[in-house]
Amino acid sequence: MTGSSLRIVPVEPGDIEALTDIMTRAFDDDAQRHLGVESGGPPGYDTGEFLRTHGLDPRAASFQAVLGGEPVGAVIAFPRDDGHHVLGCIFSDPGVQRRGIGSALFRFVEARYPGRSWTLETPAFAASNHRFYTEKIGFLKVDERDDPGGAGRLFVFRKVTGMALEIDV
Protein backbone atom coordinates (compact mmCIF):
# COMPACT_ATOMS: atom_id res chain seq x y z
CA MET A 1 0.00 0.00 0.00
CA THR A 2 1.24 3.44 -0.79
CA GLY A 3 0.12 6.82 0.44
CA SER A 4 -1.83 6.71 3.69
CA SER A 5 -0.80 4.33 6.41
CA LEU A 6 -3.16 1.60 7.55
CA ARG A 7 -4.22 1.57 11.20
CA ILE A 8 -6.03 -1.31 12.87
CA VAL A 9 -8.18 -0.32 15.83
CA PRO A 10 -10.97 -1.94 17.87
CA VAL A 11 -14.54 -1.77 16.59
CA GLU A 12 -16.74 0.38 18.82
CA PRO A 13 -20.58 0.61 18.78
CA GLY A 14 -20.37 3.98 16.99
CA ASP A 15 -18.51 2.32 14.09
CA ILE A 16 -21.32 -0.09 13.17
CA GLU A 17 -23.09 2.17 10.65
CA ALA A 18 -19.99 2.94 8.58
CA LEU A 19 -18.79 -0.68 8.75
CA THR A 20 -22.24 -1.93 7.72
CA ASP A 21 -22.04 0.21 4.58
CA ILE A 22 -18.65 -1.35 3.76
CA MET A 23 -19.83 -4.87 4.59
CA THR A 24 -22.89 -4.39 2.35
CA ARG A 25 -20.73 -3.27 -0.58
CA ALA A 26 -18.29 -6.16 -0.04
CA PHE A 27 -20.91 -8.90 0.23
CA ASP A 28 -23.05 -7.48 -2.58
CA ASP A 29 -19.95 -7.32 -4.79
CA ASP A 30 -19.34 -11.03 -4.09
CA ALA A 31 -22.98 -11.86 -4.87
CA GLN A 32 -22.81 -9.96 -8.16
CA ARG A 33 -19.48 -11.47 -9.27
CA HIS A 34 -20.09 -15.05 -8.19
CA LEU A 35 -23.87 -15.51 -8.32
CA GLY A 36 -25.01 -12.91 -10.82
CA VAL A 37 -27.50 -11.45 -8.34
CA GLU A 38 -27.74 -7.87 -7.12
CA SER A 39 -27.23 -8.50 -3.41
CA GLY A 40 -26.65 -11.18 -0.82
CA GLY A 41 -24.93 -12.02 2.41
CA PRO A 42 -25.53 -13.50 5.83
CA PRO A 43 -28.65 -12.40 7.72
CA GLY A 44 -28.34 -8.82 8.90
CA TYR A 45 -25.21 -8.02 6.88
CA ASP A 46 -26.90 -4.97 5.34
CA THR A 47 -28.80 -3.69 8.40
CA GLY A 48 -26.04 -3.62 11.00
CA GLU A 49 -27.58 -6.50 12.91
CA PHE A 50 -24.78 -8.90 11.91
CA LEU A 51 -22.09 -6.54 13.22
CA ARG A 52 -24.05 -5.64 16.36
CA THR A 53 -24.65 -9.32 17.15
CA HIS A 54 -21.27 -10.79 16.23
CA GLY A 55 -18.85 -7.86 16.18
CA LEU A 56 -19.93 -6.52 19.56
CA ASP A 57 -20.27 -9.99 21.13
CA PRO A 58 -18.18 -9.94 24.34
CA ARG A 59 -16.45 -13.16 23.21
CA ALA A 60 -15.40 -11.55 19.91
CA ALA A 61 -12.23 -9.69 19.06
CA SER A 62 -13.35 -7.15 16.45
CA PHE A 63 -11.06 -4.71 14.70
CA GLN A 64 -11.38 -2.31 11.80
CA ALA A 65 -8.86 -1.21 9.22
CA VAL A 66 -8.63 2.56 8.87
CA LEU A 67 -6.95 4.10 5.82
CA GLY A 68 -6.63 7.85 5.44
CA GLY A 69 -8.86 8.33 8.47
CA GLU A 70 -11.72 6.27 6.99
CA PRO A 71 -12.75 2.70 7.81
CA VAL A 72 -12.11 0.33 4.90
CA GLY A 73 -12.72 -3.11 6.39
CA ALA A 74 -13.02 -5.23 9.51
CA VAL A 75 -12.33 -8.60 11.05
CA ILE A 76 -14.25 -10.53 13.71
CA ALA A 77 -12.37 -13.29 15.46
CA PHE A 78 -13.35 -15.59 18.28
CA PRO A 79 -10.22 -16.47 20.25
CA ARG A 80 -10.65 -19.52 22.46
CA ASP A 81 -8.83 -20.60 25.59
CA ASP A 82 -7.90 -23.94 24.02
CA GLY A 83 -5.94 -22.18 21.25
CA HIS A 84 -8.25 -23.27 18.43
CA HIS A 85 -9.57 -19.90 17.27
CA VAL A 86 -12.38 -19.09 14.84
CA LEU A 87 -12.25 -16.44 12.14
CA GLY A 88 -15.86 -15.28 12.11
CA CYS A 89 -15.78 -12.67 9.37
CA ILE A 90 -13.34 -10.55 7.41
CA PHE A 91 -14.19 -8.00 4.73
CA SER A 92 -12.85 -4.93 2.98
CA ASP A 93 -14.41 -2.34 0.74
CA PRO A 94 -14.33 -3.48 -2.91
CA GLY A 95 -12.61 -0.20 -3.82
CA VAL A 96 -9.52 -1.14 -1.80
CA GLN A 97 -9.46 -4.91 -2.19
CA ARG A 98 -6.28 -6.63 -3.36
CA ARG A 99 -4.14 -4.05 -1.58
CA GLY A 100 -3.21 -6.15 1.47
CA ILE A 101 -5.88 -4.86 3.86
CA GLY A 102 -7.51 -8.24 4.46
CA SER A 103 -4.12 -9.86 4.99
CA ALA A 104 -3.14 -7.11 7.43
CA LEU A 105 -6.37 -7.58 9.39
CA PHE A 106 -5.86 -11.32 9.71
CA ARG A 107 -2.15 -11.05 10.53
CA PHE A 108 -3.08 -8.56 13.26
CA VAL A 109 -5.53 -10.92 15.01
CA GLU A 110 -3.28 -13.92 14.41
CA ALA A 111 -0.38 -12.13 16.15
CA ARG A 112 -2.61 -10.84 18.93
CA TYR A 113 -4.17 -14.25 19.60
CA PRO A 114 -1.50 -16.88 19.01
CA GLY A 115 -2.72 -20.42 19.23
CA ARG A 116 -2.75 -23.88 17.71
CA SER A 117 -5.12 -23.31 14.81
CA TRP A 118 -7.73 -21.16 13.12
CA THR A 119 -10.91 -22.31 11.37
CA LEU A 120 -13.47 -20.51 9.24
CA GLU A 121 -16.45 -21.23 7.02
CA THR A 122 -17.27 -19.45 3.78
CA PRO A 123 -19.80 -20.00 0.97
CA ALA A 124 -18.79 -22.53 -1.66
CA PHE A 125 -19.53 -20.02 -4.44
CA ALA A 126 -17.08 -17.37 -3.18
CA ALA A 127 -14.02 -18.38 -5.23
CA SER A 128 -12.14 -15.12 -4.58
CA ASN A 129 -12.52 -15.68 -0.83
CA HIS A 130 -11.10 -19.19 -1.22
CA ARG A 131 -8.04 -17.83 -3.03
CA PHE A 132 -7.55 -15.17 -0.36
CA TYR A 133 -7.72 -17.72 2.46
CA THR A 134 -5.38 -20.21 0.81
CA GLU A 135 -2.93 -18.04 -1.13
CA LYS A 136 -2.70 -14.96 1.09
CA ILE A 137 -3.14 -16.12 4.68
CA GLY A 138 -2.27 -19.82 4.64
CA PHE A 139 -5.50 -21.73 5.18
CA LEU A 140 -6.36 -25.11 3.65
CA LYS A 141 -9.81 -26.36 2.71
CA VAL A 142 -10.54 -29.31 5.00
CA ASP A 143 -14.27 -29.97 4.63
CA GLU A 144 -17.55 -28.87 3.15
CA ARG A 145 -21.08 -29.05 4.45
CA ASP A 146 -24.59 -27.78 3.91
CA ASP A 147 -25.44 -24.53 5.68
CA PRO A 148 -28.12 -25.32 8.29
CA GLY A 149 -29.60 -21.87 7.57
CA GLY A 150 -30.31 -22.92 4.00
CA ALA A 151 -27.77 -20.63 2.33
CA GLY A 152 -26.21 -23.47 0.31
CA ARG A 153 -22.90 -25.23 0.57
CA LEU A 154 -20.15 -24.03 2.93
CA PHE A 155 -16.45 -24.73 2.70
CA VAL A 156 -14.50 -25.19 5.93
CA PHE A 157 -10.92 -23.93 6.02
CA ARG A 158 -8.27 -24.50 8.68
CA LYS A 159 -4.85 -23.08 9.42
CA VAL A 160 -2.49 -24.82 11.81
CA THR A 161 -0.02 -22.40 13.37
CA GLY A 162 3.58 -22.89 14.40
CA MET A 163 2.67 -24.05 17.90
CA ALA A 164 2.75 -27.78 18.67
CA LEU A 165 -0.39 -29.63 17.67
CA GLU A 166 -1.60 -32.56 19.70
CA ILE A 167 -2.89 -35.43 17.61
CA ASP A 168 -4.55 -38.57 18.97
CA VAL A 169 -3.26 -41.71 17.22
The string of pLDDT tens digits covering residues 121-166 is 998 888 888 999 999 999 999 999 987 766 678 999 999 986 544 5
* The one-letter amino acid at 26: A
Write down the pLDDT at residue 7: 96
Q: Is residue 169 part of a domain?
A: no
CB 93 within 8 A of CB 86: no
Q: Is residue 16 part of a domain?
A: yes
Domain CATH code at residue 145: 3.40.630.30
Write down the pLDDT at residue 10: 98
Q: Is residue 168 part of a domain?
A: no
Q: Is residue 1 part of a domain?
A: no
The 10 Å Cβ neighbour count of residue 48 is 17
CB 42 within 8 A of CB 151: yes
The parent domain of residue 44 ranges over: 6-160
**Domain total of the chain:** 1
Smallest Cα–Cα separation from 50: which of 38, 36, 60, 65?
A: 60
pLDDT in tens, 29-67: 877 776 777 767 788 889 999 999 999 999 999 999 999
Instruction: Read off the pTM.
Output: 0.88
Chain mean position to CA 156: 13
